[in-house]
Amino acid sequence: MSRELYVGLMSGTSLDGVDAALADLSGARPALLAAVRHPFPPALRAELLALNSPGGNEIERAALAAIELARKYAAAVQELLSRSGTPASEVRAIGCHGQTVRHLPQRGFSTQIGNAALLAELCGIAVVADFRSRDIAAGGEGAPLVPPFHAALFASGTESRAVVNVGGIANLTWLPVSGAVAGFDCGPGNCLLDLWAARHLGKDFDEAGEWAAGGSVAPALLEKFLAEPFFALPPPKSTGREVFNATWLDARGVAGEDPRSVQATLLELTARSIADACRRRFAGMQKLIVCGGGARNDALLRRLAALLTPLPVQTSDAHGIDAEQVEAAAFAWLAKQALTGAPASLPSVTGARGARVLGAIYPG
């Protein structure tokens, strides 16, 4: 069987950089062939974070950031192809999520920047981008997009599984042995943890959750966090930095708390919001599979395992795919769906009126 090669690009709400994955999609199960990660320069990361909030000269700033992003994406693609010995001519398309700067489906839009036209020009490969707009136009949340890919990778005929992608925001996928795939955003993943680590450690994140692991959870503060109305909403639902940001955190009285205790409490918030959603929504769950950058947070994994005992909690590495490359590989898969005219949205996940073909195509 000849190979069907696609590249997926992901830069998510964690704002840590670009993940690029090369996938062969010729078989029944996607095969990840190679992956690279390019961290964002501090100035670009700061500008992308600033663009998540209203500010001056936004149109020009967003356009310039999109151009810089396209060049970062192209550099990641070129390194990926060089490392794997793959000519650009063998890649059918690049699926590029772009960088979300505003996600407001309740107001009818979700905006990702990245200048897909420039990326196609730089790489000489067709690019598929803007994956969320069509689902939102059909009345959906436009998120999460990865559950159908999770089904292709992790569904089992003998075991009902849940998959949690812990990026800046955490999203869950339900893969029952029988019945419809389901999924939704369940709350903050790394975004608040990273924000607090940057403020008090001067680092982009808390390595392996070690700082949080040495702190004590503040029960009263945790209750304030868990009182956020988003957690009580039924699916379909999605969220982002529009809700879970520095303003949200500061409004809950963290200033008077021990910083390490706050970090421990934020980690407990992420773990509890995931575990509570699994218990409420996924009757009969037999296993939780963790992917995304949060899969490298050992303290978070330990806490999830404790909260879900006796169910096993595993990273996707145990199922044959690097936890930090699952999302990038998903956008390779989404690119193929677009090129072949196959629907890629799940109304059971997003709440749209029906399944839709997702993405706008920029020829190479």
Q: What is the pLDDT of residues 114-148, one digit of tens each?
A: 999 999 999 999 999 999 999 999 999 999 999 99
Whether 231 shows a pLDDT value over 80: the answer reads yes
Q: What angle do CA 92, 332, 22 make, to 5 degrees?
A: 75
Q: Give the pair of three-digit tokens for residue 237.
A: 């639902």
pLDDT (mean) for 239-243: 96
Q: pLDDT confidence of 110, banded at 50, 70, 90?
A: very high
Whether 14 shows a pLDDT value over 90: the answer reads no
Structural domains present in the chain: 5-143+325-362 (3.30.420.40), 147-319 (3.30.420.40)
Q: Is the peptide bond before 39 cis (omega within 30 degrees of 0)?
A: no
pLDDT (mean) for 70-99: 98
Q: What is the pLDDT of residues 26-79, one digit of tens each?
A: 999 999 999 999 999 999 999 999 999 999 999 999 999 999 999 999 999 999
Cα atoms in the 13 Å half-sphere on the side-chain side of 336: 20
Average pLDDT, the chain: 97
Q: What is the pLDDT of residues 289-326, one digit of tens each?
A: 999 999 999 999 999 999 999 999 999 999 999 999 99
pLDDT (mean) for 339-360: 98
Report whether 171 contacts 164 (CB < 8 A).
Answer: yes
pTM of the model as a whole:
0.96
Closest CA to 48 of 79, 78, 18: 18
Distance CA 342, CA 155 (A): 20
Whether 103 shows a pLDDT value over 80: the answer reads yes
Tell me what percent of the residues of the chain surpass a pLDDT of 90. 98
pLDDT given at position 18: 97
Closest CA to 128 of 136, 138, 120: 120
Q: pLDDT confidence of 3, banded at 50, 70, 90?
A: very high
Q: Give the pair of three-digit tokens for residue 290.
A: 């963790």
Q: Give the pair of three-digit tokens for residue 203.
A: 């680092």
Closest CA to 330 of 73, 144, 115: 144
Whether 1 shows a pLDDT value over 80: the answer reads no
Secondary structure (H, E, C), the chain: CCCCEEEEEECCCCCCEEEEEEEECCCCCCEEEEEEEEECCHHHHHHHHHCCCCCCCHHHHHHHHHHHHHHHHHHHHHHHHHHHCCCHHHEEEEEECCEEEEEEHHHCEEEEECCHHHHHHHHCCCEEECCCHHHHHCCCCCCCCCHHHHHHHHCCCCCCEEEEEECCEEEEEEECCCCCCEEEEEEECCHHHHHHHHHHHCCCCCHHHHHHHCCCCCHHHHHHHHCCHHHHCCCCCCCCCCCCCHHHHHCCCHHHCCHHHHHHHHHHHHHHHHHHHHHHHCCCCCEEEEECHHHHCHHHHHHHHHHHCCCCEEEHHHHCCCHHHHHHHHHHHHHHHHHCCCCCCCHHHHCCCCCCCCCEEECC
Amino acid code (one letter) for 143: A
Distance CA 212, CA 56 (A): 36
